[in-house]
Amino acid sequence: MQDLKTAMTPMAGKRLPGSPEPMRYWSGLDGIQLAGDVWGDPAAPLVLLLHGGGQTRHAWGATGELFAAAGYFAVALDARGHGDSDWSPDGDYSIDAMVADLVCVNTALGGRRPIVVGASMGGATSLAAVGGGHLDASALILVDIVPHTEPEGVARIHQFMSQQPDGYASLEAVAESIRQYRPHSKPRRNLQGLSKNVRLGEDGRYRWHWDPQFLAGWDGMKQRYERLSACARRLTVPTLLVRGGSSDVVSEAGVREFLGLCPHAEYINVTQAGHMVAGDRNDLFGRAAKDFLVRTVPNDSNRVPN
């Protein structure tokens, strides 16, 4: 694990005042620097938390604290091109590159058999890494991601991420954009929390915390489906699939197909959540995920006596 360092890709703009510094940095594929936060005892079972496209490690803050309290060592990464991690100089945001980054970080953390938790994009990375034989994991939790995703839901995410390429004039405008995308979410009373989601450019405009080139890699869905389906068939580790009940990205039909590919997987439907399950109902998600880990990968603090 490398020492804390301050790094900022010039293209990304400046971090807003009050936005927390990463706790750690690691080297990914080809030396790309990956930022992350950690919670818990480093000697405890390792949990790697991978966020969705357009999100950052901060999406896992409450979950990381919950896992640490349950006796695990939780590590949340900013994916390449997101948050405080470096942008890819050649715009490589492929699953292969993200899988390689994940393997690099796990090696830096001691090469243990981690528990891998991935949401959406991070879930696809997790499934490809574990099911593809690149990472020897002890358990896998997939959050609102299966091989077959609904085109309409994926298109809505792409549309949201593609809007306002010239940035926003104010944090109020950023908040309104989020509200329109998630109309059923609670209104933000404190805009300071958005400081973790945007950067301030030299032109005084606020832009999202990810590289716009990331969107160029959203093609090839058929090949992605075939690859992830093959990976799902090869899964042997304890696996939990969590779906947001109102998700427009993962349907019940997609869930049934995944469970057919991976019959030993457990499934939970969080009825009061959308695609961003952990953000919408972190209480329900966290409880379900923790219970799964305690049963499948117990540690000294939560092991049930025989």
Query: pLDDT tens-digit profile of 258-268?
Result: 999 999 999 99
Tens digit of pLDDT for each residue in 147-159?
Answer: 999 999 888 888 8
State residue 122's pLDDT score.
96
What pLDDT, on a 0 to 100 scale, did the predictor assign at position 302? Answer: 66
pLDDT score of 188: 67
Q: What is the DSSP string of the chain?
A: -BPP-----GGG-EEPTTPPPPSEEEE-GGG-EEEEEEES-TTSPEEEEE--TT--GGGGHHHHHHHHHTT-EEEEEPPTTBTTSPPPTT----HHHHHHHHHHHHHHTTS---EEEEETHHHHHHHHHHHTTSS--SEEEEES--SS--HHHHHHHHHHHHS-TT-BSSHHHHHHHHHHHSTTSPPPS-GGGGGGTEEE-TTS-EEESB-GGGGGG---HHHHHHHHHHHHHT--S-EEEEEETT-SSS-HHHHHHHHHHSTT-EEEEETT--SSHHHH-HHHHHHHHHHHHHHHS--TTTPPP-
pLDDT for residue 285: 83
Contact 59, 279 (CB under 8 A): yes
* pLDDT beyond 60 at 199: yes
Domain architecture of the chain: domains with CATH: 19-154+218-296 (3.40.50.1820)
- The pLDDT of residue 254 is above 50: yes
Q: Give the pLDDT confidence score for residue 2 in this predicted structure.
A: 42
